A = this chain, B = another copy of it.
Amino acid sequence: MGEQQILEIFQSYREVHQAFFQLMTKAASKHKLTALQFVVLKVLKEYPEIRLSDLAEQVKLGNSTTSGIVDRMVKAGLVDRERTETDRRAMTLTLSEKGAALWRETEATRLHMMRSLLELPEEDQRELHRIQQKVLHLLRKSREEG
């Protein structure tokens, strides 16, 4: 596989990633949310009282990035952010009343957004997952080796 092919894979990943992101952005905007706020809303619904670092882990983002996203949601009144009782370094995140209500309103939008994606055959999903893991492994190995 030559340099050209590698660059093409790199760009094809960015294309798919951005297409995904734009699809979610469009869906989220119906509720005056951003794509990541849409995702965070779901995580907070599933994991009440989650810590910021655990949320970051869930959404596969760095701490500082997640902190910013949460901060904007707190300012918008969607999330309550309080110091954790048992560890006063940490923050406990919970959906506010407004956030929980908004989550319920987004359900139809979520299903509608996913409609087309459901068409990807199970077989392809498995293959995609398998190769993704392989690629991730190679990339991480390469990164470690410097």
In the complex, what's the smallest C-beta–C-beta distance from A35 to chain B, in angstroms? Answer: 9
Q: Mark A112-128, 1 if CB is under 8 A from B, else 0.
A: 01111111101011011
Select which of B17, B113, B122 is within 8 A of A13 by beta carbon: B17
Which residues of chain B come closer than 8 Å to A22, judged between CB atoms?
143
Which residues of chain B come closer than 8 Å to A3, judged between CB atoms?
110-111, 114
Describe A's contact surface by its main secondary structure.
helix
Q: Which residue of B lies closest to A30 (CB)?
A: B146
Query: How many copies of this chain does the complex contain?
Result: 2
Which residues of chain B come closer than 8 Å to A23, judged between CB atoms?
139, 142-143
On whether the beta carbons of B139 and A16 are closer than 8 Å, the reply is yes
Q: Mark A20-50, 1 if CB is under 8 A from B, else 0.
A: 1011101000000000000100100000000
Most chain-B CB neighbours within 10 Å: which of A111, A127, A129, A138? A138
Q: Which residues of A contact B (CB under 8 A)?
A: 1, 3, 5-7, 9-20, 22-24, 26, 39, 42, 59-60, 110-111, 113-120, 122, 124-125, 127-129, 131-132, 134-136, 138-143, 145-146
